[in-house]
Amino acid sequence: MAWMTSLSSRWRGALAALLPTHGVRHVNTNPLLTETRANLLVMREYIDAAMARIDLLIAEPAPAPVPSVDEYVASATSATAVWKALEPELGVDRRTLLTRVERLVAAHGLVARFPNWSTDLKLAKYLAERTPSGKRRLVEALEALA
């Protein structure tokens, strides 16, 4: 057992010799290590700059402003564009909307005046206009029929 005690004390002594003394920092003066550390700092700066450029490239552009239904109606060049613009606001598809307009045209006897009422741009824009109450003329006319 004595040999084990002497072996363990030798290991302790060898390890203590490798460790720096308490409170004193071991400084490596190897020029290759110093140059490697400097190169790592330069590479880290380059990577940070590259990541910043990539973030600028990847950043999502501001979404384009979405025109309102009134703007779509004002810029419409066909009656179909007017009816399509009214679809989301009224919550119906174009065919249902045309059925309602047909009912309105027939009820007011406007078939002779507007024989092509479904493709008449002036009629479509007139019915899509807002009244002083804020409702569309089409909605008010349908409510009056009901």
pLDDT-based confidence at 12, cuts 50/70/90?
low
- Contact status, residue 126 vs residue 137, Cβ threshold 8 Å: yes
Whether pLDDT at 37 is above 80: yes
pLDDT digits (tens, 9 = 90+) for 83-115: 999 999 899 998 999 999 999 999 988 888 888
What is the C-alpha separation between 64 and 13, in angstroms, rounded? 73
What is the C-alpha separation between 40 and 132, in angstroms, rounded? 71
Across the range 11-22, mean pLDDT stands at 65
Predicted local distance difference test score (pLDDT) of residue 80: 92
Exposed/middle/buried for residue 83 (C-beta within 10 Å: 0-12, 13-18, 19+):
buried
Share in percent of the chain as helix, strand, coil (round to 5): 65, 0, 30
Measuring CA to CA, how many Å separate 3 from each of 10, 11, 14, 15?
10, 12, 16, 18
Two tokens, residue 125? 């824009």
pLDDT-based confidence at 137, cuts 50/70/90?
very high
Predicted local distance difference test score (pLDDT) of residue 22: 60
Across the range 41-51, mean pLDDT stands at 92
Instruction: Identify the residue whose tokens are 């047909």.
Output: 102
